[in-house]
Structure 1
Amino acid sequence: MSAVPNHAGSWSTLPTPLSDETLEQLSLMGFDTMTPVQAGAIPLFLKNKDVVVEAVTGSGKTLAFVIPIIEKLLGREDPLKNHEIGAMIITPTRELAQQIYTVFDSFIQNHSRSEQLKLGLYIGGTTTLQQDMVQFNKTKPRILIGTPGRLEEMLMKSNKLINTKELEVLVMDEADRLLDMGFSQQLNHIIAQLPKQRRTGLFSATMTDAISNLVKAGLRNPVRVVVKVEDLENKGNTQRTPASLEIDYIVCDPEQKWTQVIRLLEHELQQLEGARKFIVYVATCACVDYFFKLLKKQASLSGYDIHSLHGQMETKRRSATYTSFTQLPPAVPAILLCTDVASRGLDIPDVDYVIQVDPPQDPKAFAHRCGRAARAGRKGKATVLLVRGREEAYVEFLKLRKIPISRANYLLPNGVTKDNSFIPDNDDETEKDVTSLQVVDPSVDQLIHDFRQVVKTDRDMYDRGIKAFVSWARAYSKHEASYIFRIKDLDLGRVATGYGLLKLPKMPELKNAKQVTFEEVDMDWNAYSYTDKNKELKRKRELEEAALKPKKPTPDTRRPKKTTAWSNKIEAKDRKADRRLKKDRKKDYLKRKQDSQQDTMDDNDDDLDDNDWDDLAKEERLAKKVRKGKISRQDFDAMMNDDDLDL
């Protein structure tokens, strides 16, 4: 393990001097000194070493590979030509790829030797593979930046359009997430197309067993660089978050969560030195869509520029949202409501505050979410909201994971706070599990009323709310820390109330719940309409079609089974007996015929055959008369017996 200096020096102290143009650009960007991760990784890269870098989020990992790549390509004796590439950077998300592209571009756009440093961004979504291949053939980039899927297609399906023989550096950024997202097969295919004599760098905030396996497969004698943050309160301990980041938690009841979120935003907006850029994390994409529309309607948040971002958005819209939020001036108050798509790797500038409405399903994502604030030495805050009761065990869980966190007071109106912590008396068994006191907050009802009023304006909002609640419940039930986040211990009715739902959906989690506290809104559901004319026409058409359909009979109105007359049953029984009699007589006839053939001459057999067939025909005629009621069964038997005597 390489020893990383505790205090990083200036760029001029690097063993291998950087080019003048690189140093000039670093100065323009305001980076006068190196961070510890840069001081540890850059010299190793420049000395042709493979590196595995583990450092807290926001520690400057991107420059730790951007600068060595630029310097190595500029230092080549033979410039790259034709379709040769010199470096490749693989990232898990499109947004991170775009961010890295922007960092590279800031060094290259005015460079005197920019021809040797041309960039190519390949992330899919906005372009087809064919379009990317045409663009590659036209621009002939030397540095490829992209996501695993598209880069694999470029290498495997382009008929060797890309020449990788001269590739010098491969970088996998956020390597643990690349593997978590299921890209291991694509990574193996990409690595198989690259020369073995190359430098490889793995960069991540956390190291996992899967990364260790990747290290064995893709790196040659790597040097591991680990940058840790010392816990100032507990000397000798380390933590996984930047020292400039302050993390706390608020304990409340399920229906009080969004009241606390809005009060945090209001409080910071009113402070002269309050936070201006917020990221608010929720559990699912449906929750982002629903609460984005609700927050936009809150008069107290009108001073904020509100954006939404999640993985199910169209690529163009996602890119536009990301660009719009990142390019806002630092002084403009803004909120980005998002899922974990914006929790890793993205260097969104000037983020002051991170609020987690729902703790992440993957506990590892907690530190990454918080790390969107306090980047590159800036101060920042992060708050997570926990439901009173079992969820409070999450605090100890985080401390075990070396994430320092403190308790914050419950926020009341007008900037008043209330300490709702409670220390139970060890002698009182009834209070043993109580850790927080319930806060009676009448203004919560007002917010829920406001939410419901917004939902009532458009039936589409009701649909979105139901979808958000159901998706949240499913995500909560699949939480990795399931011994802390148990859906059976949660009053889902109170959660639904906090969502501003008008009535509860039908779902298994509610059916099996121990307790459901919810008051349904009384309203005319047939008159509840969509503001979208097409949706409303479709709804009305479906209502009309349903009204025309015959109603399914209920057990009380179902028509009784049609009974069969007793006389018909007797007739059916007689017909069955006739068929049986006919079958038995034919069997007797065939047996008699077989016996007679052994005792008589052939000519007599012919006469007998004719007589027997006549008898059989006569028998059939008499049987028909019996069926029609023209003769009785006794007459039938008498006639047949007379014939047998004559015979």
Structure 2
Amino acid sequence: MTTAAPNTAGAWGTLETPLSTEILDTLATMGFDTMTPVQAGAIPLFMKNKDVVVEAVTGSGKTLAFVIPIIEKLLRREDPLKKNQIGAVVITPTRWFCQFPNPGNVFDSELAQQIHSVFDLFTRDHPRKDQLTVGLFIGGTTSLSQDVERFHKSEPRILVGTPGRLEELLKSGKLVNTKELEVLVMDEADRLLDMGFSQQLSSIIAQLPKQRRTGLFSATMTDAISELVRAGLRNPVRIVVKVQDLVHNQQRTPSTLHINYIVCDSDQKLLQLVRLLENETGQDQGARKFIVYVATCACVDYFYKLLSKLLKERMQVFSLHGQMDTKRRTATYTSFTQLPPAAPAVLLCTDVASRGLDIPDVDYVVQVDPPQDPKAFAHRAGRAARAGRQGRATVFLCRGREEVYVDFLKLRKVPMVRAQYRLADNTTVDNKHTEVDPESGEEKIVSERVDQDDSNVDTFIQSLRKIVKVDRDMHDRGMKAFVSWVRSYSKHEASYIFRIKDQDLGRVATGYGLLKLPRMPELRDAKDVTFKAEEMDWDKYKYLDKNREAKRQREAAKPQKQQPAKPKKSNEAWSAKRDAKARKVDRRTKKDRKKEFLKKRTHEEKEQAEDDNDDGEDDWNELAREERMAKRVKRGRMDQNKFDEMFAGDMDQDE
């Protein structure tokens, strides 16, 4: 059964099943006077003991749609939960950076932690909080034995955690009693399955009672989720929260989010980013809080250093990615979220912050590099325009084949409009024109390179290189970032649009402000690489860190040892396809040789056996003949002398 969520959502007090006074007071304290459509659709069904499958755009308020029903159902139990009994389980993916929209509270870097914090807002001062204790269990942060000990101490009634650790807890003997479980919730269900947790989910579901309520919450619905629905839900009601654009077509992004794209060359992306940031923060009504996405962790580290220098007098720059330790990641997030709304700031990050992140005052999202997974695009852009606020998002696309990405996203119900190229004087210019295809006669849009004959671009690139020249560490970071970007781009899921062979890697390296190109197979095999290396004395190029510089000088002073010649390696770009093919051919040759050898040996053994059989048969026949003659002698039918003459020759030959 499928139902659409209400187009308009009323006040919390209008629900058919009234909420408890404590819940209503907490909602009022948080400033949530009315429900969102997904809350108005899901909460009544949950309260009526229905299984639900909720598909809603990012930022639609899905968390409260299951937190409130869980609390209400546990409070309405006739018999209180006893020792080791749990009433609800909430399963979430791991390693996402999240926060619930409450300016007074800053939470840790897990989606599970966000949900735990939301529960805490409703339960910490509740008069019956002993029946609403929430336990947070995340794999990788604590050991299983530590979590078992914590379970015994706190006796949680609601378990929130990641699939692996929850599965281990439920399998830990008689630790957790699930007989009285009321509700199972799987949040971001599509991501749970994408990350390979289907086996753990099946194991968890198998250990829970069938007479329970189950809810699946996700921004997108996939075939894998449909399979999970059939396996774990009983006649579920599917709730779909859709957004209608101006021409009444469905879209997967909030209507308050305006997405555009800028077409430029790869060496102009960082320039366009800086101009966009400067222009927005220079306006009285412009954006103040930005999230900027790049492809890899190494790119975050490098561009953070560059932008901190380029924008130091205009705005604060923060960096966030999955390779940071939890303490540093939390500190960065805390600093960014606690800035005043009017303070200009940029959070530079990877897809670690593409889902679940809910900063109340993000105005603008910029995607310097489109995500590898196309499904992450809407989640990235959705970090703005949360909870009905207005927001904007921009993605940079390189001229040429990448422009097809616009039509690709349109098919995925993510509408975008083209934005103009930004010039140095804060004006914009339309960098496209229409041409007629001579073969088909159809008109097509062609983007052209602009920016006053590249003089402004060259000036900007020189400013980047000037920063890089100050510290050799910047050069190392830039090389690492560039190489990681090439690897990431070559593994893009939409590979028919994002093809590494279509990229001018020299322009990419120029846009990174590199002083020289790294040695890598892609550059060795690439044609028409546009790059001009910086002329400089590399022996005098120093690290600002004295210890690193001292180490570099010691290494340089060491006599160079004559290294033995190494076999020439394959030039395959980031893969061992050619080597693998050679190994396969070699294995096949060896296998054929072995097969031929065994066949030949078997044939020889067969022939030898036949020869042996022939010799045996001859001997046997001779013995039988001799025996017959001997019997004739015995019967008097043959003379003894004649017998001796007949077989004497054979005896002499044997001797």
Q: 1:123 to 1:552 in 2, by over 3 A?
A: closer
Aligned partner of 1:313 in structure 2 is 324
Give distance in 2, aligned partners of 1:208 and 1:193.
Answer: 25
Give distance in 2, aligned partners of 1:163 and 1:402.
Answer: 44
Aligned partner of 2:381 in structure 1 is 370
Give distance in 1, aligned partners of 2:37 and 2:375.
Answer: 23
Return the offset for 1:428.
Answer: 8.3
Aligned partner of 2:228 in structure 1 is 214
Give distance in 2, aligned partners of 1:278 and 1:67.
Answer: 31
Give distance in 1, aligned partners of 2:355 and 2:282.
Answer: 30
Tell me how large the CA RMSD over aligned residues is. Answer: 2.1
The one-character-per-residue Cα deviations of 1:155-184 (angstroms, maximum 9, x if unpaired) are 33x443222222211111111111111222
Q: Find 1:408's aligned residue among 419, 424, 428.
A: 419
3-state SS, counterpart of residue 424 of structure 1: strand
Aligned partner of 1:154 in structure 2 is 169
Q: Find 1:255's aligned residue among 267, 291, 294.
A: 267
Give distance in 2, aligned partners of 1:476 and 1:186.
Answer: 31
Alignment of 1:173-572 (within 5 A): 173-232=187-246, 234-235=247-248, 237-298=249-310, 300-427=311-438, 435-440=446-451, 441-545=454-558, 547-550=559-562
Aligned partner of 1:34 in structure 2 is 35
Aligned partner of 2:617 in structure 1 is none
3-state SS, counterpart of residue 348 of structure 2: strand
Aligned partner of 1:637 in structure 2 is none
Return the offset for 1:337.
Answer: 0.8
Quick one: which amino acid aligns to residue 262 of structure 1? V
Give distance in 2, aligned partners of 1:199 and 1:264.
Answer: 48
Q: TM-score, normalised by structure 1?
A: 0.81
Give distance in 1, aligned partners of 2:423 and 2:533.
Answer: 26
3-state SS, counterpart of residue 69 of structure 1: helix
Aligned partner of 2:77 in structure 1 is 76
Conserved? CA contact 1:123–1:146, under 8 Å:
yes
Q: Find 1:171's aligned residue among 185, 200, 219.
A: 185
Deviates more, 1:129-138 or 1:100-109: 129-138
Q: 1:327 to 1:215 in 2, by over 3 A?
A: farther
Return the offset for 1:201.
Answer: 0.8
Conserved? CA contact 2:53–2:237, under 8 Å:
yes
Return the offset for 1:433.
Answer: 6.5
Quick one: which amino acid aligns to residue 202 of structure 1? L
- Long gaps (5+) in structure 2: 96-109, 567-655
Quick one: which amino acid aligns to residue 144 of structure 2? L
3-state SS, counterpart of residue 239 of structure 2: strand
Quick one: which amino acid aligns to residue 532 of structure 2? E
The one-character-per-residue Cα deviations of 1:348-406 (angstroms, maximum 9, x if unpaired) are 22111100001111111111111111011000000000001111111111111111111
Deviates more, 1:200-209 or 1:328-337: 328-337
The one-character-per-residue Cα deviations of 1:93-124 (angstroms, maximum 9, x if unpaired) are 34222222222222122222222111222224
Conserved? CA contact 1:346–1:372, under 8 Å:
yes
Aligned partner of 2:627 in structure 1 is none
Give distance in 1, aligned partners of 2:314 and 2:152.
Answer: 48
Q: 1:153 to 1:313 in 2, by over 3 A?
A: farther
3-state SS, counterpart of residue 130 of structure 1: helix
Give distance in 1, aligned partners of 2:169 and 2:542.
Answer: 49
Return the offset for 1:432.
Answer: 6.8
Q: 1:125 to 1:444 in 2, by over 3 A?
A: farther
Q: 1:153 to 1:451 in 2, by over 3 A?
A: farther
Give distance in 1, aligned partners of 2:455 and 2:553.
Answer: 39
Give distance in 1, aligned partners of 2:40 and 2:168.
Answer: 35
3-state SS, counterpart of residue 434 of structure 2: coil
Quick one: which amino acid aligns to residue 174 of structure 2? K
Conserved? CA contact 1:228–1:240, under 8 Å:
yes
3-state SS, counterpart of residue 164 of structure 1: coil
Aligned partner of 1:16 in structure 2 is 17
Give distance in 1, aligned partners of 2:62 and 2:123.
Answer: 19
Quick one: which amino acid aligns to residue 130 of structure 2? E
Give distance in 2, aligned partners of 1:58 and 1:551.
Answer: 59
Q: 1:393 to 1:192 in 2, by over 3 A?
A: same
Deviates more, 1:248-257 or 1:413-422: 413-422
Give distance in 2, aligned partners of 1:405 and 1:301.
Answer: 31
Aligned partner of 2:54 in structure 1 is 53
Give distance in 1, aligned partners of 2:367 and 2:47.
Answer: 40
Give distance in 2, aligned partners of 1:417 and 1:499.
Answer: 23
Give distance in 2, aligned partners of 1:113 and 1:325.
Answer: 35
Q: Find 1:139's aligned residue among 134, 154, 177.
A: 154
- Long gaps (5+) in structure 1: 555-647
Q: 1:456 to 1:6 in 2, by over 3 A?
A: same
The one-character-per-residue Cα deviations of 1:547-594 (angstroms, maximum 9, x if unpaired) are 24247699xxxxxxxxxxxxxxxxxxxxxxxxxxxxxxxxxxxxxxxx
Radius of gyration: which is bigger?
Answer: 1
Quick one: which amino acid aligns to residue 110 of structure 1? D
Conserved? CA contact 2:4–2:241, under 8 Å:
no
Return the offset for 1:138.
Answer: 1.6
Q: 1:351 to 1:538 in 2, by over 3 A?
A: same
Conserved? CA contact 2:437–2:444, under 8 Å:
no
Give distance in 2, aligned partners of 1:30 and 1:553.
Answer: 71
Q: How many residues align?
A: 549
Conserved? CA contact 1:358–1:384, under 8 Å:
yes
Give distance in 2, aligned partners of 1:266 and 1:123.
Answer: 40
3-state SS, counterpart of residue 318 of structure 2: strand
Quick one: which amino acid aligns to residue 285 of structure 1? C
3-state SS, counterpart of residue 423 of structure 1: strand
Quick one: which amino acid aligns to residue 189 of structure 1? S
Q: TM-score, normalised by structure 2?
A: 0.80
Return the offset for 1:40.
Answer: 0.9
The one-character-per-residue Cα deviations of 1:216-262 (angstroms, maximum 9, x if unpaired) are 22212211111111111x13x11111000000000111100001111
Aligned partner of 2:636 in structure 1 is none
Give distance in 1, aligned partners of 2:390 and 2:156.
Answer: 38
Return the offset for 1:434.
Answer: 5.7
Conserved? CA contact 2:92–2:112, under 8 Å:
yes
The one-character-per-residue Cα deviations of 1:264-323 (angstroms, maximum 9, x if unpaired) are 11111111111111110111111111111111111x343323221111222222233233
Alignment of 1:90-129 (within 5 A): 90-94=91-95, 95-129=110-144
Give distance in 2, aligned partners of 1:211 and 1:265.
Answer: 39
Q: 1:551 to 1:474 in 2, by over 3 A?
A: closer
